[in-house]
Amino acid sequence: MKKMFYLVTAGILLLNISCKDDTIINPPQNNKDYFPAKVGSKFTYNLVVDTNYSLSGVRISDVTNTSTISGTEYFVQVDSVIIERTLSLDTTYFRKSNSGVFYYTDTTGLGDLIPDSLRNVLRIDIESRLLFFPLQLNQTWPVYQIDITVGGVPVFSPLKTSARVLEALQLTLVRRDTQYTIDVYKIEYKLEVQLDPQGSVERFFAYGYVAENIGFVKWEGEAFVLSLIRGGRIDLSSASGYVTEELRNYFIP
């Protein structure tokens, strides 16, 4: 997997960047809101991480304010993860439009790992598209991608992530010690890694369950896939694991 991450970091300093909003022309509209998070919102998830053994904890996401990055305004999301009495903090940035939800990809501090030979041939997205609006069954969309280019034209994608709405179902959760059932869409996020155009493709998966007027009520999947699609930093030293998160409480002003 280290080779994969070297390819990811190789595009950090490139300015040849694609904007996912530009690929959607006159997106259809409806009044359903599957990501109502705003400043003052708070979401608390029960968290289980399985690596060689299982660890339990909690993730608390607070939307604290807004910030402007390269001329684009984002909401600021602060995640507090508590596992085995150890607290870690992370800050991510997301924005919403009539075509979806986008997370800014933070690759700060990884520039020293870029091979000089790759700087002029890679193109990397600076955002991941978490959601595509309006949501509907079998809807697919590109989430995040790195391209190798020749003369500025993409010819090969060593890393690409896509999403698909798999099904509509009812999910039973617990909030404040009370069970409740909610209608959700289950979304599959597929990360494909192919380091050689003639080589095999490795695939990794994560799944999100999203409810109207709440947002994501459950997550499960490979930790590094979840990190990539939710705007987390790329950490070459961290081991992956399988993560399960279930919403146990939320507040949206």
pLDDT confidence of residue 102: 98
Read off the CATH number of the domain in which 6 is found: 2.40.360
pLDDT confidence of residue 205: 96
pLDDT confidence of residue 199: 84
Position 79 pLDDT exceeds 70: yes
- What percent of the chain is predicted at pLDDT more than 70? 79
Query: What's the CA gap between 171 and 205, in Å, rounded?
Result: 20
| Structural domain for 236, as ranges | 2-251
pLDDT (mean) for 61-66: 98
Q: Are 241 and 233 in contact (CB under 8 A)?
A: no
**Of 177 and 48, more confident:** 48
The pLDDT tens digits of the residues spanning 165-201 come to: 999 999 998 887 889 899 999 999 999 988 778 889 9
- DSSP output for the chain: -HHHHHHHHTTTT------GGGG-SS----S--S----TT-EEEEEEEEESSSEEEEEEEEEEEEEEEETTEEEEEEEEEEEETTEEEEEEEEEEEETTEEEEE---TT-GGG--GGGTTTEEE-SEEEEEESS--TT-EEEEEEEEEEETTEEEEEEEEEEEEEEEEEEEEEEETTEEEEEEEEEEEEEEEE-SSTTS--EEEEEEEEEETTTEEEEEEEEHHHHHHHTT----TTPPP-EEEEEEEEEE--
Position 57 pLDDT exceeds 90: yes
Domain count, the chain: 1
pLDDT confidence of residue 26: 43
Position 8 pLDDT exceeds 70: no
